[in-house]
Structure 1
């Protein structure tokens, strides 16, 4: 039996990025945005919820202020918020609190799921909209769908696909409110996996690894992420693009030591050779 929902819905958004806010405003009265200001390249790449809210005259609350001085609302939508939501907030909205997670849950619970999917050589990722529980990314799944990861896709390409898919699923979720489907389905723990937050130091390249694994690391960390890197002559070199070369005869070359080949710096790995196509803000 479907539940009648009073319209328009009063919605609160929690998160620093803005790609889903147009859809939320289209389907509800978005009257509070819980966020902090982001700056630099991340602001341009992800969009700023703070700037969006200020432009559209939406009330802005700092996350600490919201957690301490919360108020009644119909629906809370979370995207990219890195902390657990306390029970008192989960129980606050009359309809529910949902999260937009960029993986096919229960796989890739945790932080930076798209980056991890590329690093791990996955051919598909996805987006899941789910209810929030007191544990990270474990609530009932409302809807989800997958996106492809092509061989030469970078994190920028995959993120753009995920945003488009997330907006589509978010519109679908709004239409499901009040129905049995909105309650979602329980996640199957047998297929669960969890990945921790990544830090800049995690981008250090290990040239003893296979060439394809190194290439995956590079494309998972292009701008505005900190980047895959190595040190050469005492200086940090951030790599934004590489090519895997077919077998070449350089038996005297040490793994991890750059050398010039046809005018391009090339580095031997455990199973092949990688050409450095693009370095970030530097040369060799």
Structure 2
């Protein structure tokens, strides 16, 4: 049966956008999604479960796995391919199977912050605004023409998780505004300004290591960017790993990483100082974590040495 929409989706944005389409009664002919990773915090709702509730066929085969995805999509002859926070590049040959085009919801205000983990990178870099952009999918990641975008503010003390809770609503606004035009083939298109484009790669848990030679602002921004539900920022003391979940900028000066005070726990940065508000040794219970760290530290110790 020809026509309809093939959706590639995952995470909370994927769930929210898929739900909008289903609530509108759109003809969703297939969902491609991911198997959940047992090692990842599942803070988001399941796109697969939502699709199954509505009788939509669900596929977890990845585009890189031979031509299985291409065969499935080709047989469906879709009008549209829509991608909402799907985590794999979809080959160009699959994108071309949609009669009216393929479109992706990206988690930044393009052309800024192309690539992976755009919200985390934006907070690390001290941005005060992010957003989502619906764009044409082309061979190069996040480089196609812009259809629509919606800004989302980043508060000076907000974490990536807190901002992420507002991103789905912004994405849904775009889909609601543009779905009829997408189905009619009349959606507006604006070429991205390549002079404003930048690209960021995937972040790994090890990238959360605190560099105490950086400014207090930069350190606190890193903590905000990778705290729960993400793997977290960390440092070392006496060869033990300390997870830092919340911190703030305070006055103080000393050698980078030097503990200036135990209660409260204040550490000198390359510029300024950082008070650690929520922290603990790795894998220790939250209730006892902070007390255990404080008992192991002394004023004048330096954080950061893993040996």
Same fold, judged at TM 0.5 (above): yes
Instruction: For residues 221-263 of structure 1, give each alpha carbon's deviation from its aligned partner in whole angstroms, at most 9, with x where no partner exists.
Output: 111211111111222111110021124xx6xx532133544x2
In structure 2, the CA distance between the partners of 1:192 and 1:181, relative to structure 1 (3 Å rule), is farther
- TM-score (norm. length: structure 2): 0.82
Q: What residue is the counterpart of 2:17 in the other structure?
A: 20
Partner Cα separation in structure 1 for residue 225 and residue 276 of structure 2: 16
Residues 1:49 and 2:54 aligned together = no
In the TM superposition, what are the counterparts of 1:27-176 in structure 2 within 5 Å? 27=24, 28-39=26-37, 44-61=42-59, 62-63=61-62, 64=65, 65-70=68-73, 71=75, 72-176=77-181
Query: In the superposition, relative to structure 1, how do residues 100 and 190 fare at CA in structure 2: closer, same or farther (>3 Å)?
Result: same
Aligned to 1:257: 258
Alignment of 1:145-224 (within 5 A): 145-177=150-182, 181-224=186-229
Could you tell me whether the CA contact under 8 Å between 1:102 and 1:126 is conserved in 2? yes
| Structure-2 change in CA distance of 1:39 and 1:163 (3 Å) | same
Indicate conservation of the 8 Å contact 1:76/1:96, yes or no: yes
Deviations 1:85-104 (A, max 9, x none): 21221111122211000111
> Number of matched residues?
272
What TM-score comes out, normalization by structure 1 length? 0.88
Question: RMSD of the TM alignment (CA)?
Answer: 2.2
Question: What residue ranges of structure 2 are gaps of 5+ in the alignment?
Answer: 281-285, 294-307
Distance across 2 between alignment mates of 1:176 and 1:207 = 50
Deviates more, 1:58-67 or 1:199-208: 58-67
Give the aligned partner of residue 298 of structure 2: none
Moved over 6 A (4+): none
Contact 2:108/2:114 (<8 A) preserved: yes
The more displaced of 8-17 and 115-124 is: 8-17
1-structure distance, mates of 2:86, 2:3: 22
The answer on whether the counterparts of 1:33 and 1:50 sit within 8 Å (CA) in structure 2 is: yes
Q: Which position in structure 2 is the counterpart of 1:269?
A: 269
